[in-house]
Copies of this chain bind each other. A is one copy, B any other.
Amino acid sequence: MFVTHLECAGCGKQFDPHQVAQLCPVCGRPLLVKYDLPRVKANLTKEDLASRPHNLWRYRELLPLADISHAVSLGEVMTPLIPLSKLAAELSVAEFYLKDEGLNPGGTFKSRGAAVGVSRAKELGVKTLAMPTNGNAGGAWAIYSAKAGINAYIVMPTGAPAITRSECAIAGAKLFLVNGLISDAGKIVSKAIKRHGWMDASTLKEPYRIEGKKTMGLEIVEQLKWQVPDVIIYPTGGGVGIIGIYKALQELRELGWIGEKLPRLVAVQAAGCAPIVEAWRRRRKESEFWPDSATVAFGINVPKALGDFLVLDALYQTDGCAVAVTDDEILSSQAEMARTEGLFICPEGAATLAAARQLRAAGWIKPHERVVLLNTGSGLKYPDTVRAEAPVLQPDDELPLEG
């Protein structure tokens, strides 16, 4: 293992990586995993990767497992980076890609965090974990916990996507609903953890989920043959993905596998829940709680993210930006992506196309640039965002068409 220590993203204090860790006991901020990157560099070349499995475990030197054979796997794949040829022409962008996380086990990017988080939890001897969720993370941690033999307690709002309940239930997780928001679920989980001594798998309250999400950044750069794109656009709720991608880019730079210049990172939020956008506009280091948040893109309905300061830092450090898009823009972008490119993406992912359109129109994205949209999940998990009305025929009818 190339991990040296855990380090608080707030106060910088260092901690032992060989035992279960949660938030920094000093300042309450998230812990980040630190690696001996010079030693990684001496032990691994880009060329070594060519013959490895096409999934996130190929980056094992940059992952926190003591023994890669401890990986809890549900058949992860290297998700595709799909050229959007028609939309590139329409928006007038030189290179336009969708990183499609809908092809992960469970249909969302959450499986990356769960794969690494659960694997490390198992390696550290965890028997029971608990977490609040807006649905998809709960589903992902439930299925990986089932494979690992870990008990999972999952609490989600009654409004979370119904299919994510099915995932938790069929995988044998202990599932509870709450008449409220994810923050209410979080309070219930916190009390139970204190009482029972379980591991807290809440967003950023354990350090390994970021390491899983980081592999999205590693894959994008490897898939572009170790060149960085100019812009990566990311739908931002809790922000673990964008934090992970930024961490990946920093590590690749330190390894000398990419140059100094990083992609401009863009955080997209829904107009009905845009605390990061608001903070970015004011050049603040942290966001403020967004009251009465509402959006069809349930996964980014996060009024105040624990890692907001890390997201904002990533935007500032990369000359990125934050953009709000309306639910109407989200839904029309979702339909446009399916009609033109054949890709049925989730509303959160569709928000990135709406943002790209705004940024291109404003000249912030230039015609010669290479832009990557990150789709966090499959549209299959969101049946309610699509109106599918169709004529109903009788067996002896003909198709009601002219001609």
Which residues on the B side are within 8 Å of A271 (C-beta)? none
Establish whether residues A103 and B103, one from each chain, have CB atoms under 8 Å apart when the complex forms. yes
- Is A348 in contact with chain B by the CB < 8 A criterion? no
Q: Across the two chains, which residue of chain B brings its CB closest to A196?
A: B403
Task: Count the copies.
Answer: 2
* A104 to B380 CA separation, bound complex (whole angstroms): 12
Which of B78, B195, B395 contacts A184 (CB under 8 A)? B395
Question: Per-residue CB proximity of A318-334 to B under 8 Å, as 1/0?
Answer: 00000000000000001
Number of chain A residues whose Cβ lies closer than 8 Å to a Cβ of chain B: 86
Given the contacts A171-B344, A378-B380, A178 and B393 also touching, CB distance less than 8 Å: yes
Establish whether residues A179 and B77, one from each chain, have CB atoms under 8 Å apart when the complex forms. no
| In the complex, chain A residues 379-403 whose Cβ is within 8 Å of any chain B Cβ | 379-381, 383, 386-399, 401, 403
| In the complex, chain A residues 5-34 whose Cβ is within 8 Å of any chain B Cβ | none
Which residues on the B side are within 8 Å of A145 (C-beta)? 342
Establish whether residues A192 and B78, one from each chain, have CB atoms under 8 Å apart when the complex forms. no
- Is A100 in contact with chain B by the CB < 8 A criterion? yes
- Is A170 in contact with chain B by the CB < 8 A criterion? yes
Which residues on the B side are within 8 Å of A167 (C-beta)? 344, 379-380
* A388 to B107 CA separation, bound complex (whole angstroms): 18
| In the complex, chain A residues 44-90 whose Cβ is within 8 Å of any chain B Cβ | 50-51, 54-55, 72-82
- Is A234 in contact with chain B by the CB < 8 A criterion? no
Establish whether residues A107 and B378, one from each chain, have CB atoms under 8 Å apart when the complex forms. yes
* A360 to B144 CA separation, bound complex (whole angstroms): 27
Given contacts A50-B51, A74-B82, A106-B344, 19 further A-B contacts (CB under 8 A): A54-B54, A54-B78, A73-B82, A75-B82, A75-B98, A75-B343, A77-B79, A100-B105, A145-B342, A155-B393, A162-B383, A166-B386, A170-B344, A170-B388, A176-B390, A176-B399, A177-B390, A179-B392, A380-B380
A-B contact pairs, 19 of them (CB 8 A): A50-B51, A74-B342, A105-B342, A146-B338, A146-B341, A147-B341, A163-B380, A169-B387, A169-B388, A170-B344, A171-B344, A172-B338, A178-B392, A178-B394, A179-B393, A180-B394, A184-B395, A188-B397, A378-B380
